[in-house]
Structure 1
Amino acid sequence: MIRINKNESPIRAFTDETLKEIVVNSRFFEYPDDEYDEFLEAYATYNGFDKNQLSAANGSDEWIQKCMIALGDGPVLTINPDFFMYTDYAAQLKRPIHYVNCEEDFSFDLTKILTAMDDLKPSFFILSQPNNPTGALFSDDFIQQCSDKMEALGGYFVLDEAYIEFSEPYTVPAGKHVIQMRTMSKIYGFAGLRIGIVITHPDTIALLNSIHHPYPINTLSLQLATHLLRDQPSLDEFFAYQRARAAQLQAIFLNQSDVINVIPSHTNFIMTYGENALSLGRYIESHGFLPRTYPDDALLKEVVRYSISTEENLNQLARIVTDWRSHYDSVNDQSLEIRDKVK
């Protein structure tokens, strides 16, 4: 079974030789003070940030948990659907969390969100940008109005940018109350190495790191990441491969948008929904590819989501989708013929 349900990179960034060289030269018998600083410097340089704006931890999950612990005592506000770990970490800490539900087409009403902010006065509002699981990118105006409202209320605005490297740039609001969370799990292909980054004002970093672990990331992860970030030509090529696979994946399903509901994506996955989407998802799974489904979620019960794979695998997936469409068209043509005869 080919797994396309986890939004992971389909390949790794290093050759065997490069990987061996980094591991052999790693001083994993020492605490990673220098390695941590070198990583932040490399990440800041590649992405155009000030190093003083950055901090890193054991995956973006740890940053979500820190937000739940450190950012005030009031309720948390998010949207639904969004990343399930917001709910999980709120539950772990017994912190109240509230939701603004999507519309029938999985879009979000800004007025409803701003009203919920006024009513709840949350300590922080968190959402993924682009959204997970829909893949949609919120507009600059949407983001700015949410930021302005949270600043006026004295709360924080947390932007979970796990997939932002697959999207076009957007305008990030300014202010100490704005926290960007990023990860090296997606386009960098480091899901198993657990590296998450926050970008925010140094005062806000100090608040989040008031519960900081002394060594939040292991030596090997830091050295692998730093090596990758310093090799810009190779990293640019690796990113280009991932983005090409995302475009390839989108085309497969957008070509069927006349019979299934498809949301154009700014990520490495694409979301489909509706009765025909479920039919297609079952057909794909029966032919060796495992998509993401949500049978226990009332809101997402008719959703099927697919993430990128290798070029070869996606070519095979495209053929499977074409076969399903041929069967679909044949059945519908027969139904039309029967109806015409009855008339």
Structure 2
Amino acid sequence: MKRVLRADVQDMHGYAVQPSAGMVKVDTMENPFPLPPALRRALGERLAEVALNRYPAERIDELRAALARHARMPEGCDLMLGNGSDELISLLTLAADVPGNTILAPLPGFVMYAMSAKLQGLPFVGVPLTADFELDGPAMLAAIREHRPAIVWLAYPNNPTGSLWDDAAIEAIIEAAPGLVVMDEAYQPFAARDSLDRLRRHPHVLVMRTMSKFGLAGVRIGYLMGRTALVRELDKLRPPFNVSVLNCEAALFALEHVDEYERQAATIRAERARVFAALAAVPGVKVFPSEANMLLARVADPAAVFAGMKARKVLVKNVAGLHPLLAGCLRITIGTPEENTQMLAAFEAALKESQA
């Protein structure tokens, strides 16, 4: 097989998913709330009527229309579906696979931007954030001038930092970019601002969102919005029937009950404020402001705190080794109020243990 498979693929590490059975799972930015029992029953009855023997057809177009209404997509734009945002990132990178093209993004950021570029054989340029996880505007503009990137990825808010970056810095980047600027709004349900106005004003801006943080991580629905002519070109790369009939129907059901998911998001935002205040009050902890459904906390010994929390059946994400700016950092997803209380108790106990 070594002769058949690409050498760089053989040298890569697969995406690791931590075993989580029996744990308070606050490591992967999922919405922690299930649907109420009555809605679960209604969804089950509806999915039972789906024609599993048929390929997805017109129902997919109904989902596109429903998402466009939900997102308040501007006129003159179109919407493309993906099997999660990951597929859309891969397809955009594939579309930009032209000799001499470069992909650019701030770091630390979502790992799939760099990974998709690498798999497509395109150079990836990572521009470090500032020490407080803001965009380094001058460095970004310098990199754009030097590399002339085909795609600039801007996660808004950013993963894993939760940053909702300065609007003036983003506008300067958009004005300077010679190619596409993709605003990745995976965490938009928890943020105070979005990029729809940028979509209206700039023909080279795309906005990407997902239903994963909305509350359907297991359903794998991502969507991309942009000017109609541009999206239609990109849509040529989308595999036919890339969204299953079950996923489509579950997503349509969720959009019919958006008030329930909005209540959940409001609870998560309130809990984020509570957890932030609790962590900020702990001596020896630096917690960073976030507009997403997770918080980044810096401690002296992240490996020890991670292990101590795991021993207490609470699973967070140790991101300290992902980038030098993340030294000492743990990423903590906001869970239910009960999960957050358990997490805080485990965090404080593990921190004290690490300091002993």
TM-score (norm 1): 0.87
Query: How many matched pairs?
Result: 325
Task: Flag the 1:311–1:91 CA change in 2: closer, same or farther, 3 A.
Answer: same
Per-residue deviation, residues 183-219 of structure 1 (Å, max 9, x unmatched): 0111x22112110000111111012112121211001
Please, which moves more after superposition, 171-180 or 275-284? 275-284
Summarize the Cα distance change of 1:286–1:201 in structure 2 as closer, same or farther, 3 Å threshold: same
Which residue number corresponds to residue 337 of structure 2?
311
Alignment of 1:1-343 (within 5 A): 1-13=23-35, 15=37, 16-50=40-74, 52-71=77-96, 73=98, 74-150=101-177, 153=178, 155-171=179-195, 172-173=197-198, 174-186=201-213, 188-256=214-282, 259-275=284-300, 280-294=305-319, 296-299=321-324, 300-323=326-349
Contact 1:71 1:156 in 2 (8 A): no
C-alpha distance in structure 2 between counterparts of 1:298 and 1:39, whole Å: 38
Residue ranges of structure 1 left out of the alignment (5+ in a row)? 332-343
Task: From the superposition, tell whether residues 46 and 103 of structure 1 become closer, same or farther in structure 2 (CA, over 3 Å).
Answer: closer
Change (3 A) 1:248 1:222: farther
Task: Name the Cα RMSD after superposition.
Answer: 2.3
CA contact (8 A) 2:284 2:300 kept: no
State the AA in 2 paired with 1:83.
F
CA contact (8 A) 2:102 2:123 kept: yes
1:324 positional shift: 5.5
Aligned partners of 1:100 and 1:112 also within 8 Å: yes
Q: How far apart, in 2, do the equivalents of 1:24 and 1:168 lie?
A: 38
- Select between 237-246 and 74-83 the one with higher mean Cα deviation: 237-246
SS of structure 1 residue aligned to 2:173: helix
SS at match of 2:106: strand
1:28 Cα deviation from its structure 2 partner: 2.5
Q: Secondary structure at the match of 1:193?
A: coil
Alpha-carbon deviation of 1:295? 5.6
Deviates more, 1:63-72 or 1:198-207: 63-72
Query: After the TM superposition, which of the residue ranges 30-39 and 49-58 deviates more from structure 2?
Result: 49-58
Contact 1:278 1:303 survives alignment (8 Å): no
Residue 19 (structure 2) aligns with: none
- CA separation of 1:328/1:235 partners in 2, compared to 1, >3 Å: closer, same or farther? closer
CA distance in 1, matches of 2:127, 2:251: 36
Gaps of 5+ in 2: 1-22
Cα deviation for residue 247 of structure 1 reads: 3.2
What is the CA–CA distance in structure 2 between the aligned matches of 1:326 and 1:61, rounded to whole Å? 38
Residue in 2 that maps onto 1:338: none
Residues 1:225 and 1:62: Cα distance change in structure 2 (over 3 Å) = same
| Paired-residue identity, % | 26
Quick one: distance in 2 between partners of 1:302 and 1:328? Answer: 13
Question: Structure 1 residues 270-279 or 108-117, which shifts more?
Answer: 270-279
Could you tell me how far apart the structure 2 residues matched to 1:311 and 1:157 are? 37
Distance in 2 of aligned mates of 1:227 and 1:50: 23
Q: Describe the SS at the equivalent of 1:68.
A: helix
